[in-house]
């Protein structure tokens, strides 16, 4: 299936770029929009629709930049379907985020129940994050873990659980890639620790 991108996608790209204009990838000087573009690319390459690609661009907006008010703005601008996908991909809409472990456990618990579209965007998001963690681990070693609100074991646990859930619930293609990256990350970290 061929995806045709309309002016809505262009508007979402501009919106996402402005929304995250002052945000960098965790612990780097890389503009945050690079992550959003990568996730949208993975979604489109996996056969996603324009709504799914738009949601990929906007998936971190409410969580990182304004909570429920940003989600409502996204729904108003890009439609209910995009808003539902974005909401399902957010681990919190609260301005004051709950503790990391609490957020991640809740996210994992709700993941099997979300729509196929939300699973696609979420898996693309987690795949890109896992690839970045693996690349950064190879470059920085254990110093990488200081970037997170959780320790090495918690991060490895979380990505292992994500890989397990996506392997069981889809999307199949991206879930396989995520499982490979997470296994490689786990193997390298465990090997280096021994």
Cα gap 159→171, rounded to integer Å: 16
> Is 179 inside a domain boundary?
yes
Assess whether pLDDT exceeds 90 at residue 124: yes
pLDDT score, position 2: 73
Mean pLDDT of 121-145: 95
Number of domains into which the chain is organized? 1
**Predicted TM-score of the model (pTM):** 0.95
pLDDT score, position 131: 97
pLDDT score, position 94: 83
93-122: pLDDT as tens digits: 888 888 999 999 999 999 999 999 999 999
Under 8 Å between Cβ of 43 and 53? yes
Mean pLDDT of 26-32: 87
Tokens of 93: 């809409």
Percent of the chain with pLDDT over 90: 81
> Is 102 inside a domain boundary?
yes
Domain interval for residue 54: 7-193
Cα gap 84→141, rounded to integer Å: 37
pLDDT score, position 102: 93
Assess whether pLDDT exceeds 80 at residue 193: no
Cα gap 88→194, rounded to integer Å: 38
Mean pLDDT of 76-91: 97
pLDDT score, position 96: 84
> Is 1 inside a domain boundary?
no
End-to-end CA distance of the chain: 47
Q: Which residues pair with 24 in a beta bridge?
A: 31
Cα→Cα distances 11→2, 17, 19, 41, Å: 20, 10, 12, 16
pLDDT score, position 105: 96
> Is 2 inside a domain boundary?
no
> Is 127 inside a domain boundary?
yes
Assess whether pLDDT exceeds 90 at residue 78: yes
Assess whether pLDDT exceeds 70 at residue 166: yes
Mean pLDDT of 73-95: 95
pLDDT score, position 79: 98
Assess whether pLDDT exceeds 80 at residue 1: no
| CATH classification of the domain holding 11 | 1.10.3210.10
Please choose, from the candidates 92, 81, 26, the residue with its C-alpha nearest in 3D space to the C-alpha of residue 53.
Answer: 81
Q: Which long-range contacts (CB under 8 A, 24 or more apart) does 155-158 make?
A: 156/185, 156/186, 156/189, 158/104, 158/108
């Amino acid at each position: 299936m061929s995806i045709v991108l309309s002016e809505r996608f262009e508007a979402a790209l501009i919106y996402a770029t402005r929304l995250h204009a002052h945000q960098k990838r965790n612990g780097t000087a890389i503009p945050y929009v690079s992550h959003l573009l990568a996730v949208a690319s993975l979604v489109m390459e996996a056969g996603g629709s324009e709504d799914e690609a738009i949601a990929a661009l906007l998936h971190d907006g409410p969580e990182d930049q304004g909570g429920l008010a940003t989600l409502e703005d996204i729904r108003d601008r890009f439609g209910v379907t995009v808003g539902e996908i974005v909401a399902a991909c957010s681990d919190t809409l609260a301005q004051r985020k709950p503790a990391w472990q609490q957020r991640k456990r809740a996210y994992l618990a709700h993941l099997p129940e979300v729509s196929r579209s939300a699973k696609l965007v979420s898996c693309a998001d987690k795949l890109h994050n896992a690839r970045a963690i693996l690349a950064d681990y190879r470059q920085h070693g254990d110093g990488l873990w200081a970037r997170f609100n959780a320790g090495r074991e918690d991060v490895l646990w979380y990505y292992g659980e994500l890989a397990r859930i996506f392997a069981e619930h889809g999307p199949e293609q991206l879930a396989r890639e995520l499982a490979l990256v997470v296994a490689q990350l786990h193997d390298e970290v465990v090997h280096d620790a021994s």
